[in-house]
Amino acid sequence: MAKPRKRKSRRNVQPGELPTPEQLARGSYERKFITHAESNTKAMGHVNTGGTPLARWESGGKLDSTQLAVILSCLECWRLAGLSQSVTALYGERVGTTSDAGENANAVKHAKDTLTRYRDYFPGRTKEYFDIFENIIRHNMPAGVAGAVEGFDKKAATTRSLTIVRMVCDTIASRERFGY
């Protein structure tokens, strides 16, 4: 009698793409549906909710919807202004363009003006608060490192960073009338 053939896996998973069992045991991964922005297709995947301070705070419910709206607005302005960090080059990817070059230039100018206005809400010594906010949200700096600028130990610095991010978000939200 012949042995049954083993079925080959149909999944095209590259080594290193999925979290290993050790990472799943130690990390804070959640299985969620992820929607692709361009093709609007859904796929089940692992989301690392502990990778950045923003992801930890968002999954832990420490930021409310208005604060998240301010953070998304800042991230979008940094992206439009060309100030977001590019991890890889855009080889073979679609590059967003508009039919009117003036419309794109206006969007870049508006984003830069918005970021300047946000930064101007924190004059003098309070400018450090916006810098800490930018380091954590835009550059994904660990909260303990960013809060250590204020001179606290690691645990107090993490709490202080969350307080600063909330304060910056609330200040911008009240001045810009987010959530009203």
* Residue predicted with more confidence, 10 or 140: 140
pLDDT in tens, 15-73: 556 777 777 777 677 787 877 766 778 888 777 766 788 888 988 889 999 999 999 99
The model's pTM: 0.69
| Mean pLDDT computed over 70-92 | 75
Q: What percent of the chain has pLDDT over 90?
A: 32
Which among 24, 72, 77, 18 has a CA at the least distance from the CA of 45?
18
Dihedral pair phi/psi, residue 69, rounded to 5° = -65, -40
pLDDT at 2: 67
Q: Rounded to the nearest 10 degrees, how much is the dihedral formed by the CA atoms of 145, 63, 85, 94?
A: 160
Over residues 88-138, the pLDDT tens digits come to: 555 555 555 555 556 678 888 999 999 999 999 999 989 999 999 999 999
Here the tokens at position 46 are 């692992």
pLDDT for 150-173, tens place per residue? Answer: 776 777 888 899 999 999 999 999
Which band of pLDDT confidence, cut at 50, 70 and 90, is reported for residue 147? confident
Band of residue 142 on the pLDDT scale cut at 50, 70, 90 = confident
The confidence score (pLDDT) of residue 122 equals: 95
Burial class of 178 by CB neighbour count within 10 A (0 to 12, 13 to 18, 19+): middle
Closest CA to 168 of 41, 93, 98, 63: 63
Contacting residues for 147 by C-beta, under 8 A, at least 6 apart:
132, 156, 157, 158, 159, 160, 161, 164
Instruction: Give the helix ranges, DSSP H, for the chain.
Output: 21-26, 53-59, 65-80, 101-120, 127-137, 143-147, 154-176
Phi, psi (5° rounding) for residue 48? -80, 105
